[in-house]
Structure 1
Amino acid sequence: MVKKSALVCFAMWLVTAVVPMIALAQTVEENKLTADNAASEVAIRSIAEEFVKAYNAHDAKAVAELFLPQAQIIDEADITIQGQENIQVLFANVFAENPETAISIQIESIRFIGTNLAMEMGTTKTLPPAGQTSEVGRYSVLHIMQDGKWSMGMVRDIPMEPTHRDHLESLAWLVGDWIDESRGGIVRTSCRWADNDSFLLQEITILQSNQESLKISQRIGWDPLAKQFKTWIFDSEGGYGESRWTPTETGWLIKATSVNSDATTASATHQIEPTGLDRYVFTSVDRVSGNELLASVQVIVVRQAPLPLQSESTATEINKSK
């Protein structure tokens, strides 16, 4: 019993005395690492600033001096440029071919790996002359500390994933107001960008005998899982549906399914074939609603010209007549 009590007392001493000392030592070490990392981060951010300054001054030598002697640059095609001299030649050629080129850098994160390595992630943006479009790219930089100095050891261009807007550019011609007339009535369609340009929103009004009979709202977006366009459809009677788009040689093939307000289902295969920026042919086949097979449809849809702006004198006359 005495021996057991002594062991218990000794264990308690370890917990109350030794463990706090270990924790204190760990805290001191962590504080030192934090302070070292803070100073290193300032140095790494300074390298980014110096890079932008040298790049925008078209000083290839100054750009290369920010790299280690055996540093590498790897582009999106996995082509590697190695060595400070080759890096200088690379940038000299870039500046010669693009005499007005300039960039800005946005650092997203700096993560330290031990005390001599750090990984920087960020984006670059070109600053083109007036009238030209800027380009955005992603990059990573492996910074290495040698002889007490941080330098770039490996720079890699990271392929940019297309945004939803990028994907939808192939349907951007649909933006605007459209009309098609057939024996069954008039269909007016208004299409615009929505939600940070992540979707195209179509508002469709169907007129029969000059009276509104149905309104349909369609939201077209990019499905990143299926890698194709998808449409979500809702109508003013409570029906809903969806469709998926597949590109063809002449336009788009659209497979649509829906549920009507009376709980019956419907399906159809549509085709859209542009014949210019202001005109396209819409064809719908294999149309089924409930158990009924419907006739195929083909219409020509044309862009509506914008209403003419009223002149000041015309607007004044209108106001006087009120």
Structure 2
Amino acid sequence: MRLTVTLALLIFITGIVNAFCEDPSVAQSSSDSSADLKAIQAAGQAFIKAFNHRDADAIATMWDEDGDYIDETGTVYSGREAIKSEFERYFHNSYGRKVQVHAKSIRFIQPDVVLIDGTSEVDPPPPGKPVMGRFSAIRVKKDGKWLLTSVRESAVEVPSNYEHLKHLEWMLGEWVDKDESSSIYTSAIWSKNKNFIIRKFKVNLNGRIVLSGSQRVGWDPIRKQIKSWTFDSDGGVAEGYWSQKGNQWIVRKSSVLQDGRHASATNIYTIINDDSFLWESKNRIVGQEHEPDIEQVKVVRLPPAIAP
């Protein structure tokens, strides 16, 4: 079960009423179907409740007895038991990704059959090239209930700088460097469509945050090089160009401080393994003054939060 559209089942029904009113392609049937739309929305809310409680049994009962789900790889899950098993597997391996879903069209094929087409995306995105999910879902009305009877999904690649940035995936996650009196926390996630890596940092000294900020790491198509833009809470702005040499990433950074002074430095990340790296800063100049180098410090990955 891929996250792109499997998770879409969680919320796409909740947007039906608004989409039905806003999208001309779905408004044509609205005059005769408001009661059914409310019932479909209620079915979606019940799905959300079951999903949030990781209740695969309840979810399975929301499918028609012989309903099916086909993911973008062509894998078919037929019948409630197979669908239940797949949701159990997903819940066991999931770590709380969020999904955005956009219903593009809603059509009543018959008074008791509705077809919903749309797109979906998840945050944080799954590994690999970014894709947008496309789905088609059919609900049928049986004994007053709108049951899922068929769900089909496909994946479409979207424009992205992922191929240029994928070698920096090692920095995704949460990191810390600390001693008895100070700590530096850093987090990194992909932006939408993996066009940037978004990093945030905060520096704690004796229990007080003394500096924080954010950084976007992207691709400069003119220089054909990885580039970063950093903004800190003191009003400083920095740009850096990244290059790789073996297990090191070298960032040549230039800054403008809040008071207008220029600064520069060469920061070096040396990868130890998947869960640790060394960071140091050399050739540091602020205004006209040369500043001491910052010696290597070890930064370690924080363990991922475990979903309840």
TM-score (norm 2): 0.47
Which structure has the greater CA radius of gyration? Answer: 1
Give me the TM-score of the superposition, normalised by structure 1. 0.45
Higher relative contact order (CA 8 A, sep 6+): 2
Q: Which has the larger share of strand?
A: 2
